[in-house]
Structure 1
Amino acid sequence: MNRKELNPGSSPQAAYGARLRRSREARGWKQEDLAARMEYSSTHVSAVETGRKLPTLRFSRSTDLAFGVGDTKDSFEREWAEIRNGSLLEGFPEYVGFEERAVEIRLFEIGLVPGLLQTPQYARALAQGEVQRGAITPEQAEERVSFLAERQSATTRSKPPMMLVVMDESCLRHQVGGAEVMAAQLQRLVDFAALPNTVLQVSPFDVGARRAFNLPVNLLTMADRSMVGYAESQAQGHLDRETTHVLSMLTAYHHLQAEALSQAASVAMIQVMKGTVP
């Protein structure tokens, strides 16, 4: 048999794969056995074990179910989150766990289209820009794009969350990936605004000092009506579940919406810009 020897010390990804193989073999399972329990192909399991494919959040949770280690310190989801720490801001993996269960999502973004609304081409152009600056590796860039796709899939589930998005005008004017990428991205925003569970608004430049936030902000409402706030700077992210703090952020978000353009006016602005993308 062609068995690839693993070096767990070579990278967090390799350590994850080696542990997956160890756990499987300790139970006397073949790759086909584990794959059947996880509802993945044996080829996919093999690729993760040997480090040829990065584990994802969904894969890790399926692994936890198969091995019965979910919600423990030994969970594969926890190890997956630690791998992500190399390319994602502190607090963000934990935030995503709440995001995919939220019944309402409120977003405010400056400079770039919010991740949940990005096209794959726009997201890939951003990731490649990070690679060119030496901030992340090509492998981390690909993981960011696939990770974003997983986040987006959670918003298109059978009962999708209500999504309220306010974008600073700079998000529309910041050119990413060239004319074709931007035109497709602007059309994606128009399509998003037409959905029954969404509201999209643009905060124009002339709002000036009345804009409620100077950093991107995410606010989640959970099924039990509790709320989670997440904000980030260039260097770090911060998850906040303290009711007093989050309600203060929600009040500021309401002020932001009041100052922003209506959805109709926002879509009209996007349509004009879509027609003028060089």
Structure 2
Amino acid sequence: MNIKELHPESSPQAAFGARLRGLREARKWSQEELAVQTDYSSKHISAVETGRRVPTLRFSRSLDLAFGLCDTAETFERECREVKHGNLLEGFPEYLGHEGRAVEIRLYEIGIVPGLLQTPEYARVLADSAVRRGSITPEQADERVSFLAERQAALVRPRPPMMSVTMDESCIRRTVGGRDVMDAQLQGLVEFAELPNTMIQVVPFDIGERRPFNLPVTLLTLSDRSVLGYAESQIQGHLERETTSVIRLLTAYHQLQTEALSHAASVAMINEVRKGTP
């Protein structure tokens, strides 16, 4: 049997395949045996090992189950995210490994609708705008939009996380993509607010100097009740685990919520803005 030589240094995709083959052979499993455990074909496994097929998140999670890597720092899921989304901010791939498993998500956004609530059309406008500025390539724009859809899909599960979304008023008043795109996006926010596991609050402009955050912030509560904080600048993201720092972020988030409009008042404002969408 001819075995294709692998060159893991050639690309992240090749490194993923080489690692998969190495772990499989260390267990003395054939591709057929691994296929049974992952519910994928041996042909699919061969294609990933040789770099002919890009690994998906679903496939990577099945590998983590088969190899016993779940909840470790060496998951295939994390490596898959790095393969597919190498253009993401430093620190963000690490955050993503926790987002899909969080039991509660609290987030605050300024200027644009939070990614997890963006419609595909709204997300596409933002990605295409980044292409025109030269910040990313068209291929990276496509990845960014499809990746956002994957993140949103990961939150649709039998026991979805509680989501508290606090948005600066600028998020709903800044028009993105014109009338039709913005109208659909605002309608999407209203529909999000109707879900049983969500709360949405708008922070009005007149909060002034009482706003405790100058950058977007996300807080994740995990199944063991631990809380992680994530914040990012224009060029870097940072995942915070240290208890003292996370408590400060959590305190500031609660202070922000007391200054924000109620859930009902926020939905009413979104509907008013939607009626006046130019």
The correspondence of residues 1-278 of structure 1 with structure 2, limited to 5 A, is 8-17=8-17, 19-20=19-20, 29-30=30-31, 34-40=34-40, 48=48, 54-68=54-68, 75-83=75-83, 86-278=86-278
Relative to the length of structure 1, the TM-score reads 0.84
SS at match of 2:166: strand
1:146 Cα shift? 2.9
In the alignment, structure 1 segments of 5+ residues that lack a partner are none
Quick one: structure 1 residues 37 and 135, their matched pair in 2 at CA, closer, same or farther if it must change by over 3 Å? farther
What fraction of aligned residue pairs are identical, expressed as a percent? 68
Relative to the length of structure 2, the TM-score reads 0.84
SS at match of 1:207: helix
| RMSD over equivalenced CA pairs, Å | 3.1
Structure 2: distance between partners of 1:128 and 1:54: 24
Contact 2:100 2:155 in 1 (8 A): yes
SS at match of 1:250: helix
SS at match of 2:218: strand
Contact 1:203 1:261 in 2 (8 A): yes
Contact 1:117 1:188 in 2 (8 A): yes
1:257 Cα shift? 0.9
Contact 1:212 1:255 in 2 (8 A): yes
Quick one: structure 1 residues 133 and 38, their matched pair in 2 at CA, closer, same or farther if it must change by over 3 Å? farther
In the alignment, structure 2 segments of 5+ residues that lack a partner are none
Quick one: structure 1 residues 269 and 44, their matched pair in 2 at CA, closer, same or farther if it must change by over 3 Å? farther
1:9-35 superposed Cα distances (whole Å, 9 cap, x missing partner): 5432344345546766886745x7655
Aligned positions, number: 277
1:212-266 superposed Cα distances (whole Å, 9 cap, x missing partner): 1110000122233221111111111111111111111111111111111111221
1:159-208 superposed Cα distances (whole Å, 9 cap, x missing partner): 11111111011111233233222211111100011111111011111211
Residue type of the partner of 2:210?
A: R
Residue type of the partner of 1:129?
A: S
